Amino acid sequence: MKTTSRYQAHQPDAQGMIPYSAEEDAVWKILFSPQQARAKRYCSRVFTEGLAQLALSPQRIPQCVEVSQRLQQATGWSVTPVPALIGFDRFYQLLSARIFPAASFIRSRDELEYLQEPDIFHEIFGHTPLLAHPQIAEFSHHIGVLGTQARPQDHVWLARLYWFTVEFGLIRENGGLKALGAGLASSASELPYAIESPQAQRQPFDLMDVLRTPYRIDIHQPLYFVLEGIDQLRDLISTDILGTIHHAQALGLHPPRYAPKATLN
């Protein structure tokens, strides 16, 4: 997991509030409305209903405190500001406590279209609407619990399951294909690409294939896994995921479907 960032994280005050600047709020405003329109077209109702439920401001960066109040009412989750990137140990510990870590900075205007690391727009716009859904919330909690139980060498394997579901998963809905993951929901370019592009490969969700599939964080995904319904995530909770990870490790990774680069997972 990448743990360095060129962005400077904001520190919340004693009340958990961050004094974002007018420029930072302006970037949020630029991003919000166009992405809301794309989400309405391409995202699952799991996401769009959560977005409506949270009623995020389109004019300014929401504070984690106010988003937490709404999430607590919906699913018992909360959001806490963190530095731009954190390690696996802390990430899984927070998820296991039903706390989502939100990077506290927002991207600059020269990176509006694409950012390699998560910022507050990705975290709040992309993730928190999903956490308002009980089954996504419970699945995310389960990933966190597993992460606290797993061996350090298992962490990156477990992260692939999170990546191909909560971050970049697709789902069938009313006979069509919709985006589920937060990485898609918050991306201006990859959201339509994942649904419409003939270049993107899409295949049915299979836990073993997911665990054995390497990915890169700095490109549009060459492969997306498709859930047949949200109940598949519920069913995964009763699956021996750590045991399957150990089996996947013995089999090894599938050949990558992208050109090699240093920043790999």
**Is 246 annotated as belonging to a binding site?**
no
Confidence of residue 259 (pLDDT cuts 50, 70, 90): confident
Catalytic residue list contains 173: no
pLDDT at residue 263 tops 60: no
Q: Say whether 254 counts as a known binding-site residue.
A: no
Distance CA 71, CA 53 (A): 9
pLDDT tens-digit series, residues 197-225: 999 999 999 999 999 999 999 999 999 99
Block residue for tokens 């859930």: 227
**pLDDT (0 to 100) of residue 112:** 84
* C-alpha–C-alpha distance, residues 115 and 108, integer Å: 9
Specify the amino acid at residue 200: A
Identity of residue 72: Q
When mean pLDDT is compared across 56-70, 111-125, 138-152, the lowest value belongs to 111-125
Q: Which entry of 186, 187, 190, 220 is annotated as an active-site residue?
A: 186
Position 193 pLDDT exceeds 80 = yes
Tell me the chain's radius of gyration from C-alpha atoms: 17
Q: How does DSSP assign 36-66, residue by residue? A: HHHHHHHB-HHHHHHHHHHT--SSSPPPHHH
Domain boundaries of the chain, sorted by first residue: 22-251
> The domain 22-251 belongs to what CATH superfamily?
Aromatic amino acid hydroxylase (1.10.800.10)
Query: How far apart are the C-alpha atoms of 173 and 108, rounded to whole Å?
Result: 35
Confidence of residue 4 (pLDDT cuts 50, 70, 90): low
| Residues whose CB is less than 8 angstroms from the CB of residue 59 and which lie 6 or more positions away in sequence, other chains included | 25, 28, 29
pLDDT digits (tens, 9 = 90+) for 9-22: 888 998 889 999 99
Classified as helix, coil or strand, 226 is: strand
* 186 annotated active-site: yes
In the set 10, 122, 133, 142, the catalytic residue is 122
pTM: 0.93
pLDDT, position 261: 67
Q: Using CA atoms, how far apart are residues 91 and 135, in angstroms rounded to an integer? A: 19
The arithmetic mean of pLDDT across residues 32-49, rounded, is 98
> Is there a contact between 161 and 92 (Cβ–Cβ < 8 Å)?
no
Which pLDDT belongs to residue 265? Answer: 47
Q: What does the pLDDT read at residue 260?
A: 75
**Per residue, what are the HEC states of 156-181?**
HHHHHHHHHHHHCCEEEECCEEEECC
User: Which one of 123, 167, 173, 190 is the catalytic residue?
Assistant: 167
Q: Rounded to an integer, what distance in angstroms lies between the CA atom of residue 245 and that of residue 254?
A: 14
Task: Over range 226-245, report the average pLDDT.
Answer: 97
The dihedral formed by the CA atoms of 203, 239, 156 and 35, expressed in degrees to the nearest 10: 50
- Res. 85 pLDDT band, cuts 50 70 90: confident
Element (H, E) at 24: helix 22-42
Residue 113 annotated as binding?
Answer: no
Assigned token pair, 226: 């498709």
**More confidently predicted of 81 and 264:** 81
The answer to whether 183 touches 35, Cβ cutoff 8 Å, is no
Q: Residue 30: what are its φ and ψ, rounded to 5°?
A: -60, -40
pLDDT given at position 32:
98
Q: Is residue 167 flagged as an active site residue?
A: yes
Q: How far is CA 222 from the centre of its chain?
A: 17
Q: Is 141 a catalytic residue?
A: no
Q: Which of 127, 141, 142, 155 is catalytic?
A: 127
Q: Which residue has the tokens 């998963």?
A: 169
Mean pLDDT over residues 55-59, rounded?
97
